[in-house]
Structure 1
């Protein structure tokens, strides 16, 4: 039986499969089922900066300054037992830590520089083993430079690291002009790892109503290729833990990420579609593939096909683009 253990963010994990941030972590029973199916750790659903700020505004409006509303103050729906989103999130950390035997990673999602990352201190106190900082900022202003955006992310990370001692992983988008350089900056600012990549839900246009709509679009196995390429490029060029996320639905998907150099493989869409059995199936597939190819451990396999370890490093660079175009042939029966 191959040794599937790995190390992520300084945490010793029994295997590399980690359910990523989804609504599933609201349900403790669902988390227990994922652990039973083989999950090595869990990343909680994100606590959004906007939700915390809205709670703060409501508390200020109804509890701190009720006199400004005259008779309405007698009908306030809030009391001393009012539970904010933060209260609920911290309780969920404590509950998961008391029920699970695997590490629990809390998730912070926001973008401003107004102190919201101090919430990390409370998450650490509640028992979180690590934190994932999901700093998403939509750069729609043409006056905002790429350098300024990178500095914004680094400032968030540094602020968070002033209030927590547990490991912090930064979840990044693929839209940085020089990802390896930015990852090096993140490492210098105190991160313990990076998660590649943040998968954004894109707005759509409804042609019947002519309105903009938000739809959740789950990933497919084709989505692993972008992450796999950048994991392969980063492996050996940074000391950070590397988490691959987006499109892992099968054992083959997970194997590609590990061969490229991922320390862990995050899963979301497959779990939402197929439940905990997706984890068990992938773990079984990993073990069987490694046995057939005589790999003794994930550690032995991990990064063996990174860019630094390939005889032809150009396979993950521009040459791959040229080769793909040159090798394309039209489908049989299609005439031009």
Structure 2
């Protein structure tokens, strides 16, 4: 039987399949079901900076009008199980119960924000509560057209450094693919202390209803085709940054898991696939991985990881350019009109 074990953020995992933050990680039952389904680790649903600010406003006895200014946006956030204690305390309580329900499966807490503030200080509470690691989901869409790219990058580094100074557990940063130089940004974050990089965050893109003339927000589950972009960058970063690499988005089948590992991912994260098919679908994904390893005569995940990453000695620009030209040539052969 091939060895599926892997290491992520310094954590020893039984396999490289990780349940990413989502609806399945909002309850104790969800944690238990995912652990029973076979995942190697679980990322808890995100706690949002705005939620903590809203709670702080109440705690400081500010005017009701100010406290309610977040009401509409809060309706989009995951619901923490209700009790008589505050939001942050309920999140910690859910985390602790989830850790207990997950057994020996590591649980990673998730924070979502765009500024330095009390939510950064809250990271220490999550570490103290038993989180094996933290994932920073820096969902920053620079709507201000005057902000520079370097300012956006500096904000990411500032937030990471603030959290790293507050905790003594590994910290991963979940990135978007929209930096002008993603490779340089990856190096900056690792140099600033990131133990891992998660590629990529999905920026939610609203739709326009042409009948009602309204903009409609919404979330769609990812599809396999979306895995191509993060795999491209995982392959480019493998061996070039001293940090764990996690691929997220576009993981629907066992083939997607295998492709991601071949590109160089340490772990492969998914939520959409298990929302569609249930937490037990993890067993099927891992079964497909195990069968493939046996058929290809690999004795472990480690033996095949990164086999199709960009070679460390390659001229990166020339390598990518050659792939681009080869793709265009193939497209021409496939779609050019018959002569």
Query: Normalising by the residue count of structure 1, what TM-score does the alignment of the two structures yield?
Result: 0.90
Aligned residues: 320
> Which one of 253, 259, 268 corresponds to residue 265 of structure 1?
268
1:239 Cα offset (Å): 1.1
Deviation string 1:278-307 (CA, Å, 9 cap, x unpaired) is: 211110000000101001111111111110
1:113 Cα offset (Å): 2.0
CA RMSD in angstroms comes to 2.2
1:37 and 2:37 aligned: yes
> Which one of 106, 110, 113 corresponds to residue 107 of structure 1?
110
| Structure 1 spans left out of the alignment, 5+ residues | 67-80
Match of 2:46 in 1: 46
Deviation string 1:74-128 (CA, Å, 9 cap, x unpaired) is: xxxxxxx742221111001110112222100000000012342111011011111
Match of 1:55 in 2: 55
Match of 1:23 in 2: 23
Match of 2:204 in 1: 201
> Which one of 94, 100, 111 corresponds to residue 96 of structure 2?
94
Match of 2:72 in 1: none
Structure of higher CA gyration radius: 1
Secondary structure, aligned partner of 1:307: coil
Measured in 2, the distance between the counterparts of 1:140 and 1:132 equals: 24
Deviation string 1:162-216 (CA, Å, 9 cap, x unpaired) is: 1100000000000111111111111111110000000122111111211011111
1:126 and 2:129 aligned: yes
- TM-aligned CA distance change 1:148 to 1:17, over 3 Å: same
Match of 2:284 in 1: 281
Q: Is the 8 A contact 1:303 1:309 kept in 2?
A: no
Q: Where do 1:156-305 residues align within 5 Å? A: 156-305=159-308
Q: Is the 8 A contact 1:249 1:278 kept in 2?
A: no
Q: Is the 8 A contact 1:243 1:264 kept in 2?
A: yes
Secondary structure, aligned partner of 1:201: coil
Secondary structure, aligned partner of 1:205: strand
Secondary structure, aligned partner of 2:61: helix
